[in-house]
Structure 1
Amino acid sequence: MMSKILVIDQDKRPLNPIHPARARQLLSHKKAAIFRRFPFTLILKESHPDATVSELRLKIDPGAKHTGIALVNDANGEVVFAAELKHRGFAIRDALTSRRQLRRSRRNRKTRYRQPRFLNRTRPKGWLAPSLQSRIDNIKTWVKRLRKFAPISAISQELVRFDMQLMRNPEVCGKEYQQGTLAGYETRQYLLEKWSRQCAYCGIKDVPLQIEHIHPRAKGGTNSITNLTLSCEKCNLKKGTKNIKDFLKKDPKRLEKILKQSKQTLADAAAVNTTRFALLEALKATGLPVETGSGGLTKFNRQQQGLEKTHWLDAACVGISTPKLIIKGVKPLLITASGYGSRQSCRTDKFGFPSRYVPRNKLHFGFQTGDIVKAVVTKGKKVGRYLGRIATRSSGSFNISTKKGLVQGISHKYCKHIHKKDGYGYIA
């Protein structure tokens, strides 16, 4: 079994996904045409009003850096489409920091006596930082796209939760909640993410890990999350009640790394924790029934079926509705949120001073930077076929980034659109 191909009819209504062999047959007999490259979708040239359509469930496993997406047929457990969406939230955060620094420097030079205006801006209810809002917008975009090309009737979302306040201060709530299985589960999952699922003392992976107190409880250590780490059984027994500085006195670099990392918060967990309910409301706004599941249920479903841990398989295992999955031959589409470029009117050097002008016109000869094109060059020094993303120039001489490298100086006359720029990069 292979990954299915999405199909829409002549009226652009989604039909059942089909086998790649059937898709090749339809294309060779000219009964269908390529409607979209990413995700690969065919449009039939004849309408089929009586065609029966099997409903699919869209499953989403949201994360700070990557989000898993899967289309599952609940009736037979077949995964018909899978994707892994890479977000650009941290890139947006860094870009905003850079812009703020440049703006402050410029205002300090040019309008030194300008009155501060940081108190005259109000934020609407439910406002999220741009780096967080972009994650929700990316998922909303792909939910909307997939609904156009697949008969989706329900959505499942994983509600990932880390109770930061409880882990930081175990005395914040009642004794029963502190010692319940939920508190222990959240602490362990948080530590697995924070310490990269490996022993903090020897770095070994893929072994049972134990929760370890950096500063031993026998010597006054607390249960605060900043005093917890993960270690293998061997290192845990070897350390015992020793002070970490005595235990790692022969390895000062690792000691410094552990002490530094123990004080850091888990930025990824905080990002997911902040956006999970905003994403849930956005999914409910589609009008489809939305099922929610916990991270523990996702892990249980995945382990029960003996599946490896990947973003798209985690998505396929979200929710109590998960059937016995059929994943043979499924290859996920790797999607990277790249944005639409910068709106800066000029580029700056490393000191923040203007260095060169940026043209405002982005479209040249019907092409813009970021489009995926196919160029068939028939004469000159660069005869051949090239497929990749282009960087345009007003002269009409484009650069094409192919799998084999950068090809410069290809005329726009040889270029043909494969997929227009849409703010995302793809690896099929």
Structure 2
Amino acid sequence: AASSAPADLPLALVLGLAHFDGAKPLPARMEFVVREGGEWKVYGIEDEASDVFHKAMAYVDAEDGGTPKVLTVAGAPVGQPALVKLWHREGATLVPETIWEQSFGGKRNRMRDVEVADLFGDGRATMAVATHDQGVVATIHPDGQGGFEVTELDREPDTFVHEIEIGDVDGDGVLEVYATPSEPNKLDGSDQSGHVVRYVPKKGEGRVVVADLGNRHAKEIVVADVDGNGTDELYVLVEGQLAKGSKTELEHGIEVRRYEAGTDPAGGAVIAAIDDRLCRFATVGDVDGDGKKEMVIAAFSSGVWLARPGDDPNGAWNVTNIDRDSGGFEHAAILTDLDGDGRDELYVASDKHKQLRRYVWNGSAFDRETIYARTDGRAVFTWNIMPVPVALVPR
């Protein structure tokens, strides 16, 4: 079927990947998916120094001339340092500059997530980074001399931090950093405890627990103003739990808990529940162009879900399934407006099918289109999807 997308788009998608030859990890790979000349085209670039790009995204610092670059956070082979790099366009390719490399002192070194904002109110694009496996959360701030200053906000032994979000939940005009420290991953389904914490770098404020999840944990959080009241909220996607002694039966499914400023960390309003165990992606946008935001939740095996707040944003939201035939360990998804029509399209990596799919709201439901299908036999994990200017795409 013909694509509903325009023949050319000014924005592309960049995918952060890990891929494998059998069980052997291959070099970290970025793939750029571009719409040009009426076709979806894919361009790739790899980094021998890392074995996974957990995230790749556009980075622009206005004080640095405003030239867009690609920012990557990567995981390293055993015994090697984890790397944060900025890639700039040089001729037809991208050339990397390492701005932070670190061995944290545990078993593995991984830069796991990054978000960028003017954290210090000085106009500079500062990064907040989550890592494995020593619980390090750090900021990377342009130093005004062409370099970067790394500051550790936190460190906790044998701790995985999967996710970073930035926002202003208390509405005081100063940005906060939110992170998800938890026990190391337990893939056997046994209890894994964790919480959500907040830092305020501009105020020098250290760790404050804002969501205490007990013997449960979250690998995904969202900070955004979904209800449209002018102030951000924190949404915590609490992982499900298997029933004791079972490898399939759920005792608890996924819960989406909502926190406002002052919400009891032991509380949180449950606005949505999904009958699934794992959830690593939620994304917020406006799918129908009505000016109101929705949340899309990409769960492990139950598919992709649309959640809309009702009159009471702390009450149960309207949750409907977009596509049950979509899945993956990470199940990366993003709502973004590549075509500039004022409505966000949904892009989902269904690694179960080795496909990247585009969903567009047609007024009553989503139309699905596969824009990239992998044909090689290699296992792949798509860790993230982000929009980038076409000018950054290596050819």
Instruction: Give the shorter-chain TM-score range.
Output: under 0.3
Q: Comparing both structures, which one devotes a greater share of its residues to helix?
A: 1
Q: TM-score, normalised by structure 1?
A: 0.22
From the CA coordinates, give the structure whose radius of gyration is larger.
1
Q: Comparing both structures, which one devotes a greater share of its residues to strand?
A: 2
